[in-house]
Amino acid sequence: MGDSNVTENHQFTTSSQQTEDGACLSAMLLNTSLVYHAVLNAAVDLNLFEIIAKGTTPGGSFMSSHEIAAKLETHHPDLPNRLDRILRLLASYSLLTSSTRTTHHGATEIVYGLSPVGNYFVPNGSRGCIASSTTYLFYPAMLQVLLNLKEALVDADIDLFKRAYGAVCHNWSYEKCLAILSNCHKALSPNGKVVVVEFILPEEPEPTEESQLVSSLDNLMFITDGGRERTQKQYENLCKLSGFSKFQVACRAFSCLGMTNNRRNNELTEVVQAIREMAAALLQQGNNGGNNGGHMETQ
């Protein structure tokens, strides 16, 4: 037989081996995932993370749902019980820590503290705050966009950036990225460079939190501004087509946040140091994990 145009297929496993019960449980959890996000949004709106942060100490004191309810502006008899249901869910996702204690009536109650993950939802926290992203995604206009995702996928004439309250995010279309980088290349001196701090998609889907985060952000870019997340190879292709002589991922943070390096002949040491300082500054300002960064240099 003649040569075939079909290359060898390579299967990538994106889920671990599960029992039938485990697979069913995972499916049900995914089917109710909207409930978790709604609870998280309510917790942010009610400032629950901030209340718990102010009323507890790391690894020390905790607060009960009654104590947390007392800090809210609105009060009614069933509020502590309703809050406890929200707090339980947040604790099950490791946004809160939990323990038990005995009341002066002899009853046992669950008490809550702030976890390292939950600390990222505290306004003006030492690690930065990402709570505003939760509020943004649950804004009525954004919810309407998410509900119309199917139409955006199947209708080639729909431009969600124009129809759905487009926002300037950290990604652009291929054409716009190429134009931006080309303009940067033209404006730079012979030994100039461009530092890019960006999310990087894995080459193949992976059953990891990093892959889940970047893939989720890729879909968010699609429905908000017409942009996308890209793989390392796609960024390298963009940089070379823009005229840069070299591309390199200089460093990473959180396994999926890195810095690409596109350069001429400069030494890499000072660039890596600058990138690390930039990453630290960005994180201090509240940028969450998952970004990648690097730099490009002119010829």
pLDDT (tens digit, 9 = 90+) per residue, 77-91?
999 999 999 999 999
| CB < 8 Å & 24+ apart, contacts of 93-102 | 93/36, 94/118, 95/40, 95/43, 95/49, 95/121, 96/52, 97/62, 98/62, 99/62, 101/62, 101/64
CB distance 97 to 114 below 8 Å? yes
Distance CA 64, CA 110 (A): 6
User: For residue 3, which phi and psi values (nearest 5 degrees)?
Assistant: -65, 140
**Which of 224, 229, 227, 223 is closest to 152 using CA atoms?**
223
- What is the longest distance spanned by two Cα atoms in the chain? 85
- Which structure tokens are listed for 159? 């431009």
Residue reference for tokens 């390579």: 10
Q: Which of 104, 170, 185, 295 is catalytic?
A: 170
Instruction: Determine contact, residues 96/115, Cβ cutoff 8 Å.
Output: yes
The verdict on pTM exceeding 0.85 is no
pLDDT, tens digit, 9 for 90 and up, residues 35-51? 899 999 999 999 999 99
The answer for residues whose C-beta is within 8 angstroms of residue 125's C-beta and 6 or more apart is: 53, 119
Tally of CA atoms within 13 A in the half-sphere of 228 that contains its CB: 11
Is domain 169-297 given the CATH code 3.40.50.150 in the classification? yes
Backbone angles phi, psi at 71, to 5 degrees: -90, -10
pLDDT digits (tens, 9 = 90+) for 100-120: 988 888 888 999 999 999 999
d(CA 201, CA 279): 18
- Which residue, 273, 245, 256, 260, is CA-closest to 185? 245
Tell me which of 11-20, 120-129, 235-244 is least confident.
Answer: 11-20
pLDDT at residue 98 tops 50:
yes
* Tokens 């049900």, residue located: 28
Tell me where in the chain the CATH 3.40.50.150 domain(s) lie: 169-297
What's the CA gap between 99 and 119, in Å, rounded?
18
* % of the chain at pLDDT higher than 70: 71
pLDDT tens column, 168-194: 334 577 788 788 888 888 888 877 887
The phi, psi pair for 99, rounded to 5°, reads -155, 180
Contact status, residue 155 vs residue 148, Cβ threshold 8 Å: no
Q: What are phi and psi of 196, to 5 degrees?
A: -120, 120
Strands 96-102 and 246-253: unpaired
Q: How confident is the model at residue 4 (pLDDT cuts 50, 70, 90)?
A: very low
Whether 37 is catalytic? no
> Which of the pair, 269 or 68, is modelled with greater confidence?
68
Locate CATH 1.10.10.10 in the chain. 20-125
Q: Say which CATH architecture domain 20-125 belongs to.
A: Orthogonal Bundle (1.10)
Average pLDDT over residues 152-173: 56
